[in-house]
Structure 1
Amino acid sequence: MNAPILERDPSDPTTKKEDVSPLLKLVLELGPLVVFFFANARGEWLAQKFPTLAELGGPIFIATGLFMAATAAALIASWLLTRSLPIMPLVSGVVVFVFGALTLYLQDDVFIKMKPTIVNTLFGVILLGGLWFGKSLLGYVFASAFRLDAEGWRKLTFRWGLFFLFLAVVNEVVWRSFSTDTWVAFKVWGIMPITLLFTFSQMPLIMRHSLDEHSSK
Structure 2
Amino acid sequence: MAGRKINPWLKIGLELGPVIAFFVAFTRLKDHTVTLGGAEYGGFILATAGFVPLMIVTTLILWRLTGRLSPMQVATLVLVVVFGGLSVWFNDERFFKMKPTLIYLLFAGLLGFGLLKGKSYLALVMDEVMPLEHEGWIILTRRLAAFFAGLAVLNEVIWRTMSDEAWVNFKTFGLTAAIFLFFLTQGGVFKRYEVAEDRRNRPGE
**TM-score normalised by length of structure 2:** 0.90
Counterparts of 2:49 and 2:102, CA distance in 1? 19
2:166 corresponds, among 152, 174, 182, to: 182
Amino acid of the residue matched to residue 86 of structure 1? S
State the partner residue of 2:19: 33
The size of the alignment, in residue pairs, is 200
User: Where does structure 1 lack aligned partners over 5 or more consecutive residues?
Assistant: 1-14
- Asked if 1:131 is matched to 2:115, the reply is yes
Asked which structure has the greater RCO (Cα within 8 Å, sep 6+), the reply is 1
Find the aligned partners of 1:203 and 1:74 in 2 and give their Cα distance.
31
Aligned to 1:57, what secondary structure does the other structure show? strand
Q: Provide TM-score, normalisation by structure 1.
A: 0.85
Per-residue CA deviations over 1:35-54 (Å, capped at 9, x if unaligned) read 11111111268878xx98x9
**Rounded Cα–Cα distance in structure 2 between residues aligned with 1:18 and 1:157:** 26
| Alignment gaps of 5+ in structure 2 | none
- Of the three residues 102, 111, 114, the one matched with 2:98 is 114
1:144 match: secondary structure: coil
Task: Give the CA RMSD over aligned residues.
Answer: 2.1
Counterpart secondary structure, 1:89: helix
Give the counterpart of 2:52 among 48, 57, 68: 68
Which digits, 9 at most, give the CA deviation of each residue in 1:162-214, with x for residues without a partner?
11111101101110110111101111011111111111111221121011233
| Counterpart Cα distance in 1 of 2:120 and 2:198 | 22
The ranges of structure 1 where at least 4 consecutive aligned residues each deviate by more than 4 angstroms after the TM superposition are 44-48
Cα deviation, residue 76, structure 1: 1.2
Indicate yes or no: 2:142 matched with 1:155: no
Q: Is the 8 A contact 2:25 2:47 kept in 1?
A: yes
Letter in 1 for 2:161: S
Q: Percent identity?
A: 36
8 Å Cα contact 2:32/2:42 also seen in 1? no
